[in-house]
Amino acid sequence: MRTLSWTTVIYDNSMNDYSFSILHLIDTHCHLDFEDFDADRNDVWQHAREQTVTVLILPATTCDRWPQVKSVAEMDANIYPAYGLHPCFMSTHKDAHIDELALWLDREKPVAVGECGLDFYNDKSNQKAQLDLLDAQLALANERNLPVIIHARKAVEDILQLLRQHPGSRGVLHSYSGSFEQAKILMDLGFYFGFGGPVTWPRSTRLQAVVKKIPLAHILLETDAPDQPDSAHKAQRNEPGFLPAIATFIAQLRKESIEKFSAQTTENARMLFSLPDHQRKK
């Protein structure tokens, strides 16, 4: 692995503050296309870059948002789009959108298929429709050798069953909340795990225990902005510029140096999404 030049990040939990000077971090899950950022999107991206977050992955949620995701990604060559159909928006999805997704994947050459997945948290009445939609997206991803960005809420076992029907699938379980036992199976299937703000909350003891056990080679960093802020930014709109707080918290939780943790999670993202080894030029 390449040798990178990193400097130390120091996180003061008592003051909810941090100072840092890192080469770069990758936010592997950020919805910068959402309306929450319409008033100051460029400023948010500039702030993220100033905070050493130099690459973003933008997963789409619905067919009508794909053009907006594409437009936001075109702001900078270091912002990469992914296209998919999110399980929380089943009422907006149509059968024809799978065929449209195939066209978008072939024409736009995104870094992943997603955000896709299953969400059985509140409503299980559309389980079969969700399973069918994810099954179709996994097939599209495998046909194009693309990773998948998977949303799994109260549905990790169902995800596992479906992935077994699509051998060769690879990707990330975004905002992972399953068990370590499930994680071990997913790692054997070639998956990574995205962790963000929820890990930093004091009540997240079960999740923190899982994060401490997962091998560093399978961890990705994310904000899920504008949602899921870390504890240092409670009640604020989440932003990609907050990623260093998450990185520092998890590194300290795992008792690893921020240099090692940041370098490896960045390398993990580059490997999964086939990103170049250097910052892309505008």
Classify residue 4: in a domain, yes or no: no
CATH number at residue 15: 3.20.20.140
Residue 5 lies in a domain: no
**Position 55 in a domain:** yes
Task: Tell me whether residue 215 is exposed, middle or buried, using C-beta atoms within 10 angstroms of its C-beta: 0 to 12, 13 to 18, 19 or more.
Answer: exposed
Residue 228 lies in a domain: yes
What pLDDT was estimated at residue 24? 86
pLDDT in tens, 44-91: 999 999 999 999 999 999 999 999 999 999 999 999 999 999 999 999
**Domain-located, residue 260:** yes
For residue range 122-150, list pLDDT tens digits in order. 877 899 999 999 999 999 999 999 999 99
164 domain residue, yes or no: yes
| Model confidence pLDDT, tens digit, residues 220-246 | 999 999 999 999 999 999 999 999 999
User: Amino acid identity of 154?
Assistant: K
> Do 166 and 139 meet the contact criterion of CB atoms below 8 Å apart?
yes
Q: How far is CA 29 from the centre of its chain?
A: 3
Has residue 161 got a pLDDT over 60? yes
Q: How many domains does the chain have?
A: 1
**22 is in which domain, residue-wise?**
10-273
* Selected residue with higher pLDDT from 280 and 277: 277
Q: What is the DSSP letter of 118?
A: E
1 assigned to some structural domain: no
Question: Is 2 inside any structural domain?
Answer: no
Burial of residue 28, with CB atoms counted within 10 A of its CB: 0-12 exposed, 13-18 middle, 19 or more buried? buried
Given a cut of 90, whether residue 113 has pLDDT beyond it is yes
